[in-house]
Amino acid sequence: MPKTDYDYIIIGSGIAGLNTGLLAREHGSVLVLTKGRIDDCNTRYAQGGIAAAIGPGDSPALHSQDTLAAGAGLCNREAVQVLTSQGPQSVSNLIQWGVPFDTSSGQISLGREGAHSMPRILHAGGDATGQHIEMTLASLVRESNVTVLEYSLATRLLVEGGAIRGVEALSSDSGQTGIFTGRTVVLATGGAGQLFRYTTNPEVATGDGVALGFEAGARVMDMEFYQFHPTALWLEGAPTFLLSEAMRGEGALLRDDTGRAFMVDYHPLADLAPRDIVSRAIADQVGQSASGRVYLDISHLPADMVKSRFPTIYRACLGYGVDITRQPIPVAPAAHYMMGGVKIDTWGRTNIQGLYACGEVACSGVHGANRLASNSLLDTLVFAQRLVASSLGRAPEQEELDNDRDMVVPLGSRPMVCASVPALGAEALRDLMWRNVGLSRHGSGLLQAARVLNIWLRTVPRATDRAGHELRNMVLLGRLMAEAALLRQESRGAHFREDFPQTSTEWEKHIVLVKEE
């Protein structure tokens, strides 16, 4: 009989899952379940790099300051302090494991990105950082005693008496459902870009971990904060391929259709302003211009430098007929990163005993209302180390997970009345989310979305295959996002309400959604 009981069951094989697996294998048997190939994940597509305060003149204190400023008053300060002070050590582990970060004259090269006051972004293969990290970790895992089951979709968490007992999984190969038992389960399922019409995320990013956790009784926080990356390729027939913020870090400029660099009108940091500001400035410019187009232009920099620093982007754009060394690139914002997720403390613990979360699925509050560029890869590394320590009893006793100021809301039902309800399907969901729960929101659109999603949630068919489970999960996530966005009657970070454009001190708190008993 194949083994079904493990010390650690990890769901997901991006940087969070693989790194956790490599750390945990020293302490017990490890199973990694992943719903596609091992490298089907957001991590593989990461371009800009990984932030850490390792350069001359830089410090964890400066890195904290930038992270807190981007987070717009909602960062968990303790988590930020942990992230920035332990970041350099975590990055040095990656170097020891063999990730080939780019160097210049024997020193690690450090790039710059939006809202960072210092150059502090380590990158590999120019703009192929994620691919190098994923390849290195996947090959270490393959050589190790960690068991990896590809094409295995986690469909349910098994919880008894407030403690995790295992995971139910569906094999796409055999169509069989199996049960894996274990006392430590780690959600490392990544983000949810597939909820939106336009996204930089691959197909696997359907928010499964948040849905699994929520259904099992885990608390879910900050779901109204979803980051839209300002610059994705915007060409008829081309995918919404990411054009790294590192391009603007090297001097690329956003221009309107007359060629004017417009970001100076919006923020003192101009093209390197925080992402929410740049994204909304682009939307504003698109609305004002005759052509409805905005461009990212790097053609004024030396062609050889552009090709060697951004080889992936150069080749991808050339494939769609744009030579970035000569022409400006049409761009538009796209859904990119989920700041919210399963609520954890700074040791990766959820409110369910033995259930941990790490990476984009998790929410410790470290990113607040808006993540600072290149802090997410770092977040996965730092908090994986702490969750493994915690699973070994090396963390302080768990305190109450909710803060006094958190607003804890049971996800109730919205009235099942709605003027028109589109037929449920992934495309209809993506359109609804993009239109009503996107970059710019309004109470009326949010209420309409919450009602439609509520009806869909009640009527979505029982899932029997991967697509069915993913659709169910996406409807639930949409519902959580719309509800939180409706509740937060202010604008802050990535959450912008046309009907409440100001930031309010009354809202310096997190919205925590829990399942209604």
User: Quick one: angle between helices 466-487 and 443-459, nearest 10?
Assistant: 150
Helix axes 60-70, 77-97, angle to 10 degrees: 120
Tell me how many helices (H) and strands (E) the chain has.
13, 22
Catalytic residue, candidates 275, 280, 386, 430:
275
**Order of strands, sheet of 147-149, starting from the edge strand that comes earlier in the sequence:** 147-149, 30-33, 8-11, 184-187, 355-357
From ligand FAD, ligand SIN, none, interface partner of 482 (C-beta below 5 to 8 A by class):
none
Could you tell me which of 348, 377, 353, 352 has the C-alpha nearest to residue 364? Answer: 348
Q: Which of residues 448-477 bind ligand SIN (CB under 6 A)?
A: none
Nearer to ligand FAD by Cβ, of 213 and 330: the residue is 213
- The residue assigned the tokens 């050339």 is 318
- For position 42 contacting ligand FAD by CB under 6 A, the verdict is yes
Q: Is 438 in the site for ligand FAD (CB under 6 A)?
A: no
Of 47 and 346, the one with the shorter C-beta distance to ligand SIN is 47
**Residue 188 binds: one of ligand SIN, ligand FAD, none (C-beta under 5 to 8 A by kind):** ligand FAD
Measured between alpha carbons, how far is 231 from 252 in angstroms, rounded to an integer? 11
CA–CA distance, 464 with 483 (Å, rounded to integer): 27
**Spatial separation of the C-alpha atoms in residues 448 and 63, rounded to whole Å:** 40
Burial (CB < 10 A; 0-12, 13-18, 19+), residue 327, is middle
Indicate which single residue of 39, 245, 297, 345 sits in contact with ligand SIN (rule: CB under 6 A). 245
- How far is 100 from 426, CA to CA, in rounded Å? 38
Q: How many residues bind ligand FAD (CB under 6 A)?
A: 43
Interface with ligand SIN (CB under 6 A), residue total 9
Q: Does 246 bind ligand SIN (CB under 6 A)?
A: yes
Distance of alpha carbon 376 from alpha carbon 337, whole angstroms = 9
CB 27 within 8 A of CB 392: yes
Is 275 among the catalytic positions? Answer: yes
Among 13, 47, 240, 370, binds ligand SIN (CB under 6 A): 47
CA 140 to each of CA 23, 42, 99, 461: distance values in angstroms, whole numbers, following the listed order: 11, 19, 11, 40
- By beta-carbon proximity to ligand SIN, the closer residue of 48 and 359 is 48
Pick the binder of ligand FAD from 21, 25, 31, 34 (CB under 6 A). 34
- Closest to ligand FAD by CB, 372 or 446: 372
**Between residues 147 and 374, which has the closer beta carbon with respect to ligand SIN?**
374
Nearer of residues 273 and 446 to ligand FAD, judged by Cβ: 273
Q: Which of residues 368-387 bind ligand SIN (CB under 6 A)?
A: 373-374, 376
Q: From CA 26, how far away is CA 439, in angstroms rounded?
A: 43
Residue 497 CB, nearest distance to ligand FAD (Å)?
A: 25
Quick one: which segment of 210-218, 244-252, 361-369, 425-433 binds ligand SIN (CB under 6 A)? 244-252
Side chain identity at residue 382, one-letter code = V
Positions marked active-site: 275
Binding site for ligand FAD (CB under 6 A): 11-17, 33-36, 40-43, 45-50, 129-130, 153-154, 188-191, 200-201, 204-205, 208, 242, 337, 359-360, 374-377, 380
Binding site for ligand SIN (CB under 6 A): 47-48, 244-246, 337, 373-374, 376
